[in-house]
Every structure is written in C-alpha cells, then in structure tokens.
C-alpha cells in the first residue's frame, strides 16, 4: 500500500493531525519526513500498526497514550496510561514558576503531584542551577517521572514518594524556596461526566474531592511547612476555582496573591508568598 492512500483512509475517521501522528508513529518516521514519502510503499507491518492504533483511537483512547509520548514546553515526554497526560494549560504554571524563580533567585523547588514530571523536569532543565524535587503518591507516576528526568537529562531533578493529603516528612521542612503543583481539582461528582478521553486517565490524578479543593487545602496548610521563610507557592487551578483558592491561601498566611490566565483568558495559576 502507498503511504498517501493510508493517510487518506485514516483522515476519513480521524482529524488530520491525529491521522498524521498515528501514521508517522506507525512508520517510525517524523511528521515532516512523512510528507516526503506520500508516494512510497508502506510496509505491511507499518500499515497494520497504524490500523491497530486507529482502532484504539476510535474506542476513545487519547492519542497521547496511543503514541506513548507528547510535547510539553517544546520537549517530548513519555506518557503512559495511569498517569495524567501533560496539557498545554499547565505551561502557564511553568511560566509563572520561572518568573518567581528569576525574581527571588530560588535555588530549590518542590513539585507536588508531579505525574509525568512534565513541570518538574521542564523547570529543572530551564534552570539547571536549581535543585528540583518531584513528588507523587502513584508508583506508576514515580517511575514515569524518573524515566522522563533521565531521558531528558534533568540531572538536577530527583523524584520522591509523597502523600500530599498527609503531613510532609520532617526532613523536607523548611527546604524549598518554591512549591509548584497541578493537583487533582475536579469535583468527585463531575468525574463520571467528563469527556470520553479523560475517562481513560486515572481518577487519582483528577479527583479533588467533593468540592474539588481538598488538595489546595492540604498544600496550603500542611505543606507550607516545607517552604523556607518568604517562600512561594504556584498552583494550577480549574475553571472558576480562583476565588476559593485565593481565599484558602490567604487563610493560611500567604500574601502577594495573584492569578495568571491561560491562552483562553481563564485564571489558571494562583501564586502566593508565605508571610514571614
């Protein structure tokens, strides 16, 4: 079969982007090279790989899990079922964290609920002089974050187990200039009604309790202990959670509070500094 013919077949059922991603992944070539190969014959093996990937996509599985990798902040991260897929919205968290690091000269950062490690590894690579710790409760996430740190060469990023809903271990108290997190923030009651693709992602990474805010309360009250004097917190939030999260931070002694918008104009990241 000729490559261009299969691309046409895939494009009838998928978006053009999905069709191109699947075909180039199945053929083991990048997207640009794919365009130069439209008239070339495609191996039987590549064609059947592409069709198997198509079936998974038609069953609702997110493209990112099918490809096993996805871009975040211009780098390619491994993704894996059982761990949240990196999203473009979360790049706002990286930008806000970088601004804080540069303003305060932060030397140490803790990223809670790290998942794939996309935030922690990106920050470690963007600011190589900083010591980054990435933490998660999920064993699948921990090994994926370690794999991403290793394959992208983030030697200044270590990965540790932590349960954010419990108190931080004493050895972490007062250790960090900055804490970042994209915690689970969907209300438990909304989980069954999510878009089909999102139901393939682990509820452990999505479910923020009855009001969607339990992780913000735990981070602002329990985990502020890990901050140094004058340290800051940068948290990704869901749509419409800005007021509640600002209030939670204020109640827990944070000031200089601000919100940053995503590309859709929605307040996506809340930043605050712990009063000394």
Binding site for ligand GLN (CB under 6 A): 84, 87, 89, 182-186, 198, 206
CB of 140 to ligand GLN, least distance (A): 16
CB of 184 to ligand GLN, least distance (A): 4
CB of 111 to ligand GLN, least distance (A): 13
**Between 27 and 84, whose beta carbon lies closer to ligand GLN?**
84
**Between 22 and 119, whose beta carbon lies closer to ligand GLN?**
119
CB of 66 to ligand GLN, least distance (A): 18
CB of 118 to ligand GLN, least distance (A): 12
**Between 224 and 268, whose beta carbon lies closer to ligand GLN?**
268
CB of 153 to ligand GLN, least distance (A): 26
**Between 19 and 181, whose beta carbon lies closer to ligand GLN?**
181
**Between 3 and 267, whose beta carbon lies closer to ligand GLN?**
267
**Between 208 and 272, whose beta carbon lies closer to ligand GLN?**
208
**Between 202 and 253, whose beta carbon lies closer to ligand GLN?**
202
**The 3-state secondary structure of the chain, one letter per residue:** CEHHHHHHHHHHHCCHHHHHHHHHHHHCCCHHHHHHCCCCECCHHHHHHHHHHHHHHHCCCCHHHHHCEEEECCEEEECCCCCCCCCHHHHHHHHHHHHHHHHHCCCEEEEECCCCCHHHHHHHHHCCCCEEEEEECCHHHHHHHHHHHHHCCCCCEEEEECCCCCCCCHHHCCCEEEEEECCCCECHHHHHHCCHHHHHCCHHHCECCCCCCHHHHHHHHCHHHHEEEEEEEEEECCCCCHHHHHHHHHHCCEEEEEEEECCCCCEEEEEEEECC
**Between 82 and 184, whose beta carbon lies closer to ligand GLN?**
184
Q: Are 183 and 223 in contact (CB under 8 A)?
A: no
CB of 119 to ligand GLN, least distance (A): 11
CB of 103 to ligand GLN, least distance (A): 25
């Amino acid at each position: 079969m000729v490559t261009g013919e299969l691309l046409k077949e895939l494009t009838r059922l998928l978006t053009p982007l999905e069709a191109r991603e699947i075909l180039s992944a199945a053929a083991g070539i990048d997207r640009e090279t794919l365009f130069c190969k439209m008239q070339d014959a495609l191996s039987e093996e590549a064609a059947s790989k592409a069709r198997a990937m198509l079936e998974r996509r038609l069953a609702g599985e997110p493209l990112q899990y099918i490809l096993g990798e996805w871009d975040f902040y211009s780098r390619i991260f491994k993704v894996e079922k059982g761990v949240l897929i990196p999203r473009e919205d979360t790049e706002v968290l990286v930008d806000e964290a970088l601004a804080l690091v540069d303003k305060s000269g932060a030397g140490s950062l803790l990223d809670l609920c790290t998942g794939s490690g996309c935030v922690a590894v990106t920050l470690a690579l963007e600011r190589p002089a900083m010591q980054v710790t990435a933490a998660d409760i999920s064993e699948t996430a921990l090994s994926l974050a370690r794999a991403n740190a290793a394959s992208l060469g983030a030697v200044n990023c270590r990965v540790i187990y932590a349960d954010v809903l419990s108190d931080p271990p004493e050895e972490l108290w007062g250790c960090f200039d900055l804490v970042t997190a994209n915690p689970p923030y969907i209300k438990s009651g909304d989980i069954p009604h999510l878009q089909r693709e999102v139901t393939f992602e682990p509820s452990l990474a999505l479910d923020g309790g009855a009001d969607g805010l339990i992780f913000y309360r735990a981070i602002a009250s329990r985990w502020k202990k890990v901050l140094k004097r004058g340290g800051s917190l940068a948290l990704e939030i869901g749509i419409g959670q800005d007021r509640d999260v600002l209030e939670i931070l204020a109640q827990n002694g944070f000031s200089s509070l601000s919100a940053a918008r995503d590309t859709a104009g929605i307040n996506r990241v809340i930043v605050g500094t712990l009063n000394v």
